[in-house]
Amino acid sequence: MKIGFIGLGIMGKPMAKNLLKAGHEVVCFDVVAANVADVVASGAVAAKSSADVASQVPVVITMLPNSPHVKSVVLGKDGVLEGASEGLILIDMSSIAPLASQEVEKACSEKGVRMLDAPVSGGEPKAIDGSLAIMVGGEKALFEEMKDILLVMGASAVHCGPIGAGNTTKLANQVIVALNIAAVAEAFTLVRKAGVDPHLVFDAIKGGLAGSTVMNAKAPMMMDGNFKPGFKIDLHIKDLANAMDTAHSVGSPLPLTASVREMMETLHADGFGGDDHSALARFYAKVSGTTIGE
């Protein structure tokens, strides 16, 4: 199938490449020319704008940083809807506010464009190997129609409900991940301050109830002092802000989320917003005077 892909950052670039590897034709666009060139070198065709992408394909995938970017790319000048014909399918795989997904879908529907919101979890490593977890909102029939395409990029794709449900599910995911990372950083800082080798503690507890995908992925990074971003602190701040806004709108308090968001805001202020979210360990180093790594 000929598929449009808009947004070729840390996540979008490998996702587009996986579509190419699976035999799909990809027409791509990004505001960063080097990202476009990289995907074109793998076999994609470059477009001049988001509207140009939409004019050439039956399906457009967007993978963008936040709600304003999605609104601009889809609804704005030279956006997807300017180039779209009736019947186009838009799959927005960005992590944005659920209400923004609903707003964009309403505008799409008025032009005869069908839409799914389909945010992902797994970070850059899983984007590269095509094993992302994909959470989808929208019409069930449209989900079933697009499921095979989604499974090129992910190991799972689950229909979660009407439009916006995918992003609500992603917000829940991001709350759980953030709190888990903070707990790992807090516990391993305690271990280091108490004079116990965190590597041995990791080996001792990873097979028990404390073990998790989050700990398995992030504890080694903390112990190595390796905060190369798979998912940046600044992006997680954005997700937690969306989670809190959504929670406040439905009357669901998020006191733990608020605390971890403030830790991340501290890291941003200290110049670490571009680090991986495992850099929450830096916050504990700051307040404890002890690093987890050697």
Are 181 and 280 contacting, i.e. CB atoms less than 8 angstroms apart? Answer: yes
What is residue 123's predicted lDDT score, i.e. its pLDDT?
Answer: 85
CB atoms within 10 A of CB 255: 6
Q: How far is CA 200 from CA 195, 196, 223, 280, in A?
A: 12, 8, 11, 21
What is residue 230's predicted lDDT score, i.e. its pLDDT?
Answer: 83
Domain 2-163 listed as CATH 3.40.920.10: no
What is residue 258's predicted lDDT score, i.e. its pLDDT?
Answer: 98
Same fold across 2-163 and 168-288: no
The residues that are catalytic are: 170
What is residue 231's predicted lDDT score, i.e. its pLDDT?
Answer: 87
Domain boundaries, the chain: 2-163, 168-288
Find where tokens 């180039």 sit.
Answer: 83
pTM here is 0.90
**Which CATH fold would you assign to the domain 168-288?**
N-(1-d-carboxylethyl)-l-norvaline Dehydrogenase; domain 2 (1.10.1040)
What is residue 52's predicted lDDT score, i.e. its pLDDT?
Answer: 98
Q: Would you give per-residue pLDDT tens digits along the chain (294 residues)?
A: 999 999 999 999 999 999 999 999 999 999 999 999 999 999 999 999 999 999 999 999 999 999 999 999 999 999 999 999 999 999 999 999 999 999 999 999 999 999 999 999 988 889 999 999 999 999 999 999 999 999 999 999 999 999 999 999 999 999 999 999 999 999 999 999 999 999 999 999 999 999 999 999 999 999 999 999 988 999 999 999 999 999 999 999 999 999 999 999 999 999 999 999 999 999 999 999 999 987
What is residue 34's predicted lDDT score, i.e. its pLDDT?
Answer: 97
Alpha helices in 138-269 (DSSP H): 140-153, 165-193, 198-205, 213-224, 233-250, 255-269
